[in-house]
Amino acid sequence: MTSLDTSSEKLGLRERKKQQTRETIARVALELFAERGYDQTTLAEIAEAANVAPRTIFAYFDSKEDILLCGERSFLDDLKRRLEERPAGTTTVDALREFISQIPPQDEDDLLRKKVMNENPALKMKAHAGHTRLEPMLAEAIAKDLGAKPDDLQPMLAAASVTAAFISVRDRIFAAEEGGEPMTHEQAMATLDQVLDFLRGGLEALQQA
């Protein structure tokens, strides 16, 4: 999954080189995971394929797991930044909708990642565990919309609903469950808009109350 706010045009030469090295390590690792299996692939093999020293990997990633799941973490980091930097008057629901609309269609890396995750249920569970960051992040943003505290009941319940909608639609865009078919981006956005319209109405009612 490609990070939304790291285009090379925005970075200096040194930063571009670091980004290119990071992307190379992640790409060759993903190819090796898909070809040989996640557990069978060593960091030394990844370093050799990426043409870097093994210690260089740890300048960018903490572990093999971090390499595989880095896209998920970058995705949430980008969303957090988007919510924090949203213009005044932009609601959490509207910022989230705009963010999802800019998700690019799945590419070869997404398909390889899906293959690796489907072959290793433990990794799949760890990826979903990372979503625990999402709900409190949304609760904090919704609390600002409502003029409430993040641990108040209203923003917590609203965040739980938004999180469920977000994860369901995003997963259908990128990778359907085995045996199913992924939604097209247009289908997913149409479904999401229906859900967000419902949630937006509920939040507006809470604001008025």
Q: Please, what are the domains in the chain? A: 64-208 (1.10.357.10)
Task: Report d(CA 27, CA 62) in Å as an integer.
Answer: 16
Residue-wise pLDDT for 84-96, tens only, equals 999 988 989 889 8
* pTM score of the predicted model: 0.69
Which are the contacts of 161, defined by CB distance < 8 A and separation ≥ 6?
199, 202
32 C-beta neighbours (distance < 10 Å), count: 23
178 vs 80 pLDDT, higher one? 80
Q: Report, in this order, helix, strand and coil percent for the chain, each rounded to 5.
A: 75, 0, 25
The mean per-residue pLDDT over the stretch 32-56 comes to 94
**126, 113 contact by CB (below 8 A):** no
Residue-wise pLDDT for 123-140, tens only, equals 878 777 767 888 899 999
The mean per-residue pLDDT over the stretch 69-86 comes to 87
Task: Report d(CA 197, CA 190) in Å as an integer.
Answer: 11
Task: Report d(CA 80, CA 75) in Å as an integer.
Answer: 9
Give the per-residue pLDDT at 61: 93
Confidence of residue 39 (pLDDT cuts 50, 70, 90): very high
> Does residue 8 have a pLDDT over 50?
no
